[in-house]
């Protein structure tokens, strides 16, 4: 699988990231035992490794920590794997009831929470360090000085090598950059064919269209200008387009299927290749637990869509022609 350097680091991971959110997550699958989930997690990770994937994404809230714990089981099977892969995790989201019964769901970029979260992540992953730590969702009460203090501590102690953010706008990143000494190297954002706002805003700027909801204007361009790699979460939109029986859904799937057929590849590969084609060097973060689907998605690594194919998909995903 092709690799792609993360700017301002010594990291050169594969273009496709495996997202570990669903490992150990028994939501709607209560019939699975702890051991069955563990075996499933190992099988899933091995499937990603077999496809050549070298970067794995976590967050402390995934499975309420269970996903990181499940991932750590892989060390028993591959004792020398740690130095061959890149591990990243995220912190900053706190559930309701944490740590008092009346506490609401909230975001927390305080020094105490960041440093405590890193220790918890390392313990669950059974590793001494993270390659990248991301701040999960913007905290409206952020004190950038506290973030700077936390980053300095975990970096100097060798717990985190590099840093990034998730779901942040350009100006939110600028605010952090004013205070921290470390370079922010990744911004993880939702981006796919039917949630293409980051790309679409650059197309519909200055268009009069009542009801058009603009989100993240300039964020993609900001990241490109500042050598921040965009990682696209939910790159297949959880397969929504496959289950959408509306006229829009049927049309989108028809366009995807036609390109897949012409290229003798999977629909999943075409959707993923659409992201890989973008010059921002976007890294899709995939999350399926099915080995056959991981294999189907990774076919995208050998596909280079034409401009015509890319625009056909873009227009179908928009649900209307370009201005």
Q: Token pair of 241, please?
A: 């387009």
**Is 62 tagged catalytic?**
yes
Quote the CA–CA distance of 170 and 188 in Å, as a whole number. Answer: 12
Q: 283-321 burial, b if ≥16 CB within 10 A, otherwise e?
A: bbbbbbbeeebbbbbbbbbebebeeebbebbbebbbeee
Q: Which has the closest alpha carbon to 167: 221, 222, 232, 236?
A: 232
Quote the CA–CA distance of 274 and 192 in Å, as a whole number. Answer: 8
The answer to whether the beta carbons of residues 284 and 272 sit under 8 Å apart is yes
Alpha helices in 51-167 (DSSP H): 66-71, 74-77, 111-125, 144-156
Q: Which helix (H) or strand (E) holds 253?
A: helix 247-262
Q: Which has the closest alpha carbon to 43: 295, 319, 213?
A: 295
Quote the CA–CA distance of 92 and 308 in Å, as a whole number. Answer: 40
The answer to whether the beta carbons of residues 27 and 37 sit under 8 Å apart is no
Quote the CA–CA distance of 200 and 183 in Å, as a whole number. Answer: 28
Which one of the listed residues 62, 129, 162, 171 is annotated catalytic? 62
The alpha carbon of 101 is separated from its chain's Cα centroid by a whole number of angstroms, namely 31
Q: What is the 3-state secondary structure (H, E, C) of 28-54?
A: CCCCCCHHHHHHHHHHHHHHHHHCCCC
SS3 percent helix, strand, coil of the chain, rounded to 5, is 45, 15, 40
Q: Which residues are catalytic?
A: 62
């Amino acid at each position: 699988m092709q690799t792609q350097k993360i700017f301002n680091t010594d990291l050169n991971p594969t273009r496709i990231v495996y997202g570990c959110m669903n490992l150990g997550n028994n939501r709607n699958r209560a019939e699975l035992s702890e051991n069955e989930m563990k075996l499933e997690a190992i099988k899933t990770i091995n499937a990603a490794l077999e496809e050549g994937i070298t970067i794995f994404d976590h967050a402390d809230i995934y499975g309420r920590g269970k996903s990181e714990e499940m991932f750590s089981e892989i060390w028993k099977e591959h004792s020398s794997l740690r130095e061959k892969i890149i591990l990243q995790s995220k912190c900053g989201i706190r559930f309701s009831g944490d740590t008092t019964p009346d506490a609401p769901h909230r975001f927390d970029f305080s020094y105490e929470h960041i440093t405590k979260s890193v220790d918890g992540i390392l313990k669950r992953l059974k590793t001494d360090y993270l390659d990248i730590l991301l701040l999960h969702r913007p905290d409206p009460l952020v004190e950038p000085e506290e973030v700077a203090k936390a980053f300095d501590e975990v970096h100097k102690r060798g717990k985190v090598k590099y840093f990034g953010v998730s779901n942040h706008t350009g100006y939110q990143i600028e605010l952090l950059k004013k205070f921290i000494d470390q370079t922010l190297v990744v911004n993880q954002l939702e981006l796919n064919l039917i949630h293409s706002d980051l790309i679409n805003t650059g197309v519909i700027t200055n268009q009069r269209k009542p009801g058009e909801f603009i989100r993240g204007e300039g964020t993609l361009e900001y990241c490109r200008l500042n050598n921040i790699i965009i990682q696209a979460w939910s790159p297949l939109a959880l397969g929504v387009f496959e289950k959408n029986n509306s006229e829009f859904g049927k049309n989108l799937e028809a366009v995807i299927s036609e390109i897949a057929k012409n290229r003798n590849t999977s629909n999943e590969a075409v959707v993923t290749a659409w992201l890989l084609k973008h010059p921002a060097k976007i890294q899709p973060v995939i999350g399926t637990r099915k080995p056959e689907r991981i294999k189907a998605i990774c076919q995208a690594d050998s596909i280079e869509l034409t401009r015509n194919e890319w625009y056909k998909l873009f227009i179908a995903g928009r649900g209307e022609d370009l201005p």
